[in-house]
Amino acid sequence: MNKQKLIRLFSFTLMLATLTLQAEPLPLVPAPAEKNLAITEQQAIALFYQRNLDLIAAHFNIDVAAAQEVIAAAIPNPVFSFNISELSPEIFKSSNNSQPLPGISPALSQLIETAGKRQLRVESSELATEAVTFDLQDTLRTLTNAVRRDYYSLLLAQKNLQMAEDNFKRYHEILRVNGIRLKTGDIAETDYTRMEVESLKAQADQDQAQATLKQARATLLLLLGWPENSMDILAVEAWPKATSTITDAKQEQLVKQALEKRPDLQAARIRIAQAQKMLTLANRLVIPDVTISAYYQRDPGNYFTDSGGVGISLPLPLFYRQEGEISKAHIGVSSAELALTQTEQSIRSDVIKAMAAWKSADAIAQRFETLVVTRIETLRKEQEFAYENGAIGLLDLIDAERSYKAMMLDYYTALANRSNAWADLLMAYGEEVKL
Q: What is the mean pLDDT of residues 407-426?
A: 94
Q: What is the pLDDT of residue 398?
A: 85
Q: What is the pLDDT of residue 34?
A: 44
What is the percentage of the chain residues whose pLDDT exceeds 70?
86
Q: What is the pLDDT of residues 11-47, one digit of tens each?
A: 434 443 443 333 344 444 444 434 568 899 999 998 8
Q: What is the pLDDT of residue 23?
A: 35
More confident residue, 76 or 383: 76
Q: What is the pLDDT of residue 433?
A: 56
Q: What is the pLDDT of residues 97-150, one digit of tens each?
A: 555 567 788 999 999 999 999 999 999 999 999 999 999 999 999 999 999 999
Q: What is the pLDDT of residues 336-372, one digit of tens each?
A: 999 999 999 999 999 999 999 999 999 999 999 888 8
Q: String of b and e for 318-344 (b: at least 16 CB within 10 Å)?
A: eeeebeebbeebeebbeebbebbeebb
The domain spans of the chain are 3-76+115-286+322-429, 77-112+287-320
Q: What is the pLDDT of residue 161?
A: 95
Q: What is the pLDDT of residue 260?
A: 92
Q: What is the pLDDT of residue 252?
A: 92
Q: What is the pLDDT of residue 54?
A: 79
Q: What is the pLDDT of residue 22?
A: 39
Q: What is the pLDDT of residue 182?
A: 84
Q: What is the pLDDT of residue 336?
A: 96
Mean pLDDT value across the chain: 85
Q: What is the pLDDT of residue 417?
A: 96
Q: What is the pLDDT of residue 88?
A: 59
User: Would the pLDDT of 401 be above 50?
Assistant: yes
Q: What are phi and psi of 38, to 5 degrees?
A: -100, 140
User: Would the pLDDT of 235 be above 90?
Assistant: yes
Distance CA 223, CA 235 (A): 14
Q: What CATH class does 3-76+115-286+322-429 carry? A: mainly alpha
For 60, how many CA atoms within 13 A lie in the half-sphere containing its CB? Answer: 4
Q: What is the mean pLDDT of residues 172-192?
A: 84
Q: What is the pLDDT of residues 41-94, one digit of tens each?
A: 999 998 898 888 777 888 888 889 989 999 999 999 999 999 887 655 555 554
Most confident of 5-9, 251-255, 371-375: 251-255
Q: What is the pLDDT of residue 411?
A: 94
Q: What is the pLDDT of residues 323-333, one digit of tens each?
A: 999 999 999 99
Q: What is the pLDDT of residue 33?
A: 39
3-state secondary structure the chain: CCHHHHHHHHHHHHHHHHHHHHHCCCCCEECCCCCCEEECHHHHHHHHHHHCHHHHHHHHHHHHHHHHHHHHHCCCCCEEEEEEECCCHHHHCCCCCCCCCCEEEEEEEEEECCCCHHHHHHHHHHHHHHHHHHHHHHHHHHHHHHHHHHHHHHHHHHHHHHHHHHHHHHHHHHHHHHHHHHHHCCCCHHHHHHHHHHHHHHHHHHHHHHHHHHHHHHHHHHHCCCCCCCCCEEECCCCCCCCHHHHCCCHHHHHHHHHHHCHHHHHHHHHHHHHHHHHHHHHHCCCCCEEEEEEEEECCCCCCCEEEEEEEECCCCCCCCCHHHHHHHHHHHHHHHHHHHHHHHHHHHHHHHHHHHHHHHHHHHHHHHHHHHHHHHHHHHHHHHHHHCCCCCHHHHHHHHHHHHHHHHHHHHHHHHHHHHHHHHHHHHCCCCCC
Q: What is the mean pLDDT of residues 211-233?
A: 88
